[in-house]
Amino acid sequence: MGPEEKRDIEQAMARSFKELLKKEPFEKITIKKITDGAGVIRVTFYNHFQDKNDLLSWIVRREILDPARVLISNDLYKEAILLIFTGILRDGDFYRRAVRIEGQNSFREISTQCIYQLVLEFFETHAARGKKPASPWMTTEYLAQYYAQSLNYVLIRWIESDYAVSPEEVTRIYEFIMTHSMWDVLEEI
């Protein structure tokens, strides 16, 4: 199986899963329902994904974060954040339901981990090589976790607000929060 065929099968299962989640709770979605909707057999699912959570993680990475990765690699950070929010809104019904997935593999955990990987990659690429951190708390891993959680918090709140503001506005707000001190932010509220 070539890379294009693999990607086509994964995308078909992702589409099937997304349509199912729009109609029924996560817990009621079975692998069989996903594969039936994708037109593949059950064993095909396990050749690509471990479980539904792995598929959800794939969707977040491939459909939301990977397109932003290209912009980040070209130092277009604001545009990357806007693309993330725009991608979420494009599949707004799906993410509105996905954000309700709770438990050990909640959407919140999955999306935080996916964002963490992206931010960690960014920090590892841009961190000064051989330089000792100013503090043991200032490692690339710690900082990536901090920034991943902050972006994920804004994403989750925005989805839960039923997309109360446009992607452009939430990007502007997030950019302001991230580029100003807490004291500057207090002056704005």
Residue with the two structure tokens 């339901």: 97
Q: What is the pLDDT of residue 128?
A: 67
Neighbours of 5 (CB within 10 A): 9
For 160-184, write each residue's pLDDT tens digit: 999 999 999 999 999 999 999 989 8
- Please give the domain boundaries of the chain with CATH numbers for all domains: 1-49 (1.10.10.60), 52-188 (1.10.357.10)
pTM for this prediction: 0.90
**Is the model's pLDDT at 6 over the cut of 90?**
no
For 55-113, write each residue's pLDDT tens digit: 999 999 999 999 999 999 898 999 999 999 999 999 999 999 999 999 889 999 999 99
For 8-28, write each residue's pLDDT tens digit: 999 999 999 999 999 999 999
Q: Please report how many Cα atoms fall inside a 13 Å half-sphere around the Cα of residue 89, on the Cβ side.
A: 18
Maximal C-alpha separation, the chain: 58
For 124-171, write each residue's pLDDT tens digit: 887 766 677 778 778 889 999 999 999 999 999 999 999 999 999 999
